[in-house]
């Protein structure tokens, strides 16, 4: 079971993000808006940097019904020290993860390049297991009585 705060933040982000069909718009959105929320003023911000999207058509609950199911799992998250060229101290990072997300400091991998549009120093981490967003919708029936 993923952390409840992180799962809720991921759900909120995914509800507002452009569809996976619009790759460029989605990429820009995920680079602009952190899991911390649109109005965050925190010096540390957590972004979804890599994701796995799975789309399937499955049988529905009633006979002949089909569902389109989209499942999105983050693979990698990025911690950004907002507008700062260097990483935050380990103590600050530890406090951020504990206070904001209720989790222990994960293993971070600092990167040399700055975050999207010079947003600040970035470090990547493996996304927690179990974090995912799933949505399904009914598919139109192939049975057309007028056809």
CA dist 2 and 76 (Å) reads: 15
> According to the model, what pLDDT value does residue 138 have?
84
Whether residue 147 lies inside any domain: the answer is no
Whether residue 143 lies inside any domain: the answer is no
CA dist 123 and 79 (Å) reads: 5
Whether residue 28 lies inside any domain: the answer is yes
Q: Tokens for 121?
A: 């120093």
End-to-end CA distance of the chain: 47
pLDDT band at 48 (very low <50, low <70, confident <90, very high): very high
Whether residue 144 lies inside any domain: the answer is no
Q: Which pTM does this prediction carry? A: 0.88
Asked whether residue 133 carries a pLDDT value surpassing 60, the answer given is yes
Whether residue 90 lies inside any domain: the answer is yes
CA dist 119 and 121 (Å) reads: 7
> According to the model, what pLDDT value does residue 140 have?
75
Asked whether residue 145 carries a pLDDT value surpassing 60, the answer given is no
Q: Tokens for 30?
A: 């995920």
Domain range for 83: 4-138
Whether residue 131 lies inside any domain: the answer is yes
């Amino acid at each position: 079971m993923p952390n409840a705060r992180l799962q809720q933040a991921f759900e909120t982000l995914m509800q507002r993000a452009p569809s996976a069909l619009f790759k460029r718009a989605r990429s820009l959105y995920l680079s602009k808006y952190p899991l911390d929320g649109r109005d965050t003023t925190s010096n540390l911000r957590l972004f979804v940097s890599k994701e796995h999207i799975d789309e399937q058509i499955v049988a529905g609950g009633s006979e002949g019904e089909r569902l389109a199911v989209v499942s999105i799992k983050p693979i990698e998250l990025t911690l950004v020290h907002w507008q700062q060229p260097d990483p935050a101290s380990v103590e600050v990072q530890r406090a951020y993860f504990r206070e904001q997300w209720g989790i222990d400091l994960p293993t971070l991998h600092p990167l040399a390049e700055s975050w999207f549009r010079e947003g600040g120093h970035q470090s990547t981490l493996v996304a927690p297991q179990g974090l995912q967003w799933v949505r399904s919708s009914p598919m139109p029936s192939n049975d057309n009585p007028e056809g």
